[in-house]
Structure 1
């Protein structure tokens, strides 16, 4: 299996990657094909595909913020069971993020991720069982992710200004004994991460105001 970076919508593997995304994720989580050009050209955004026998069987996107000393996994897709795709993506992403931290002269304190709450999510995720929110949540819990203790919404990637629910903002701490995060770190991260979306719902702004009034956020088991 090969780990291949995609940096243009003209890359021969990008169309296959985008089709996989549309198969697995609901529309509000998928940026339109043509709007991917700028993110792919951004050196700070890392989009990789797992290629098996010429086919895109998995993909992941992530970034590292040296000023905040945190990473973000935007998404991880396992397109087929029984190939070890999840482990393959995890190991390659971890090595690359370690490299990015070292290049910036910083040490990461951990990585954010938006993780579906299976109680709230009824979406079928393309019928691919490794992508089931129950399976994914348990795997991510095993890896070490924990959910931040506050009600979470995010702006839709369809850019229509609607609020997306059914997920928990979660964090994988580098120090497994960490039990909380500074609320200011979370608000700074979310403000930067969603600066790419011009239309944000009132619910998102209300959430951010609530977070600004807090000092610490507890990390809880998934």
Structure 2
């Protein structure tokens, strides 16, 4: 039986196992350095959970809920082993937690959840540690099945190495609770991205240009993933 356990401090022995799993799976520019996790883990708005199976961290997810916008952001989801339904376990428990947070925020229903999703049709060199469920082609289809849609946006994000480099090869996506929703306010996306990446002072010019273009638009279409 798996357990869904929240990590709130860097000294938690499960965090070392989680960080090691991240380094096995993600490319280096996507992994925040170990010591820099102290403040994020202690931030009540950042929710980091692991799937614990027989004493081992076999999966993990990090996400945030923004009360003022009533939206969430999935920072990452890692499935570390095949054959345990880890993806479903994490997705179900994450959504249950988010729905509870939204209900506590004035009895609302969650508007939806953002995520950055690799486009393997543009970038094919992400092996993700050789873990088959993390294959970008598989992940993209699974996330499409979950209801994620692609924002009509030429997307880049600042490298988590904080070196001012722009990272491409991803789509910025949104999973609306109401599947009929086919647009989002451009102002929501721009404001969200500025807040989300405020932690990284070194912003690439391509990212700043993208946000500036967003601020000139009224809406952004949600397209099939």
Q: TM-score, normalised by structure 1?
A: 0.98
Q: Deviations over 1:35-91 (max 9, x none)?
A: 000000000000000001000000000011010111000000000010010000011
Q: CA deviation at 1:114?
A: 0.3
Task: Work out the CA distance in 1 between the residues paired with 2:205 and 2:153.
Answer: 17
Q: CA deviation at 1:119?
A: 1.2
Runs (4+) of structure 1 exceeding 3 A deviation are none
Q: Secondary structure at the match of 2:198?
A: helix
Task: Work out the CA distance in 1 between the residues paired with 2:76 and 2:87.
Answer: 12
Q: Secondary structure at the match of 1:108?
A: coil
Task: Work out the CA distance in 1 between the residues paired with 2:66 and 2:110.
Answer: 9
Matching residue of 1:153: 156
Q: Deviations over 1:95-130 (max 9, x none)?
A: 100111112213321100000001122210000010
Q: CA deviation at 1:2?
A: 0.6
Matching residue of 1:59: 60
Q: Secondary structure at the match of 1:23?
A: helix
Which of 208, 218, 221 lines up with 1:205 in the alignment?
Answer: 208
Cα root mean square deviation, aligned: 0.7
Q: Could you list the runs of 5+ residues in structure 1 that have no partner in the other structure?
A: none
Q: How does 1:20-99 map to 2 (within 5 A)?
A: 20-99=21-100
Q: Could you list the runs of 5+ residues in structure 2 that have no partner in the other structure?
A: none
Q: How does 1:141-180 map to 2 (within 5 A)?
A: 141-180=144-183
